[in-house]
Amino acid sequence: MAVRIRLSRRGRKKLAIYDVVVADSRAPRDGKFIEKIGTYNPNTVPATIQIEDDRALDWLVKGAQPSTTVRRMLSYKGLMMKKHLQIGVIKGAVTQEQADARFEEWKAQKDAKVQARVEKLGADKEAQAKARLEAEAKVSKAREEAILKAKAEKDAELAAQVAEANKTEEQKEAEEEGTEEKA
């Protein structure tokens, strides 16, 4: 029986979440499996991968073949490296302590790289929010200036109308006085 470590889909339409399962290669994708060893959620940034390391490593050493996607996930988590080092220990090329030291060094570098990426994403998100806020403030200020300008123009127009109305009243009074003097 050929055993594969692969993904089994669950979740709703367009929001899939996957289980990492050990299954017979002839079984359907979402069908019968031997053991569930983790989950994978591609909807988060970065994607969330939770795998039981010891169970996955045990199945890899036993000869289970991971699918392409699961192989990438296992490499990301360091399990393929750990398998490689474990085979070296079994063959006698390195000791268990040396293998563990190499793995811990690799894991520290990988964690630092992932943390830097997460911080960069957070900083980018904050910068975008700040830029959006500044653009919104700029638009709001322009809108406020346009409203004040329109109000000033309206006030000037109203003042001109009032001045003209006063002028015409003065002219009417002057004409009335002029007609009274002639009479």
Can you read off the two tokens belonging to residue 106? 């690799």
Q: What is the mean pLDDT of the chain?
A: 89
pTM: 0.64
SS3 51: strand
Read off the pLDDT of each residue in 143-157 and give the average, rounded to a whole number: 91
pLDDT, tens digit (0-9, with 9 covering 90-100), for 93-126: 889 999 999 999 999 999 999 899 889 988 999 9
103-109 CB contacts, 8 Å cutoff, 24+ apart: 103/78, 106/78, 106/81, 107/78
Q: What is the pLDDT of residue 39?
A: 96
Query: Domains along the chain?
Result: 3-94 (3.30.1320.10)
Q: Is the pLDDT of residue 135 over 70?
A: yes
Q: Is the pLDDT of residue 131 over 90?
A: yes
SS3 28: coil
- 59 by Cβ neighbours in 10 Å (0-12 / 13-18 / 19+) ranks as buried
pLDDT, tens digit (0-9, with 9 covering 90-100), for 157-169: 888 888 887 777 7
